[in-house]
Copies of this chain bind each other. A is one copy, B any other.
Amino acid sequence: MPLDIPEVVIDRLPVYYRLLARLQREGTTVISSQELGDHLGVTPAQIRKDLSYFGRFGKQGRGYSVERLIEELRLILGLDRSWRMVLVGVGQLGRAIASYRGFAPAGFELVAAYDAHPDTVRIEDGPVVRPIGQLPTDLRAEPVDIGIVAVPANEAQDVIDTLVAGGVQAILNYAPRTVQVPANVHVRRIDPVVALQSMTYHLSRERPRR
């Protein structure tokens, strides 16, 4: 498995994986790159090229075994284990994240939640909320893989510094702010306003103003 796989390729793999999981539930056992591409709006060549970075999973003349491809992607993406996450920030957004039903089936386990005012918030069907001051100690006692940050923008950098100091190497950042991390730490931003603003660029050009 080569070491210099483009980042864009990695970003597409979970999308392929999710589609394949659905197709399998619906009974598909074999699929061509053409059909996969039709579902996802990408070219068949791109799918074949992306997969070819990791191995030769298809059969000429037939296509890919859905089961085989799911299993390969599971291994490639590291989904053959579960991942421990902590949530920092238990406001309205944080509570919605903590209650999200999609993490656990995908192997992402929320092991703890932290807030500056732990007494005033409670997560339904979720972990107890601990005081944020306890975070450094807890991280040392029980390492986690991923930090989810849902604090106000002006607290995000501090929280992330704390997570990184505690050995967390992946951050899912819901705070509307770009943060700085060492090169070995991964950050993904979830920011609806930024997403909307890149669409309004196009909307204001394509549609005549009313």
Contact = CB atoms under 8 A, between A and B. Distances in A.
Interface of A: 10-11, 13-15, 17-19, 22, 39-41, 76-79, 81, 83, 92-93, 95-97, 99-100, 102-103, 106, 108, 145-146, 153, 169-170, 172, 176-178, 180, 184, 186, 188, 190, 192-207, 209
A9 to B, nearest CB: 10
A192 B178 contact: no
Given A10-B201, A79-B197, 9 more contacts: A13-B201, A14-B194, A14-B197, A18-B177, A78-B200, A83-B200, A102-B193, A184-B206, A188-B198
Contacts of A102: 176, 192-193
Contact of A195 (B76, B190, B196): B190
Nearest to A178: B40
A203 B96 CA distance: 26
B203 A78 contact: yes
9 contacts: A10-B198, A14-B198, A39-B178, A76-B201, A92-B100, A102-B176, A106-B193, A108-B196, A146-B199
Given A93-B100, A199-B170, A203-B78, A190 B192 contact: yes
Contact of A196 (B106, B193, B205): B106
**Residues of A contacting B: mostly:** helix
B92 A170 contact: no
A203 B15 contact: no
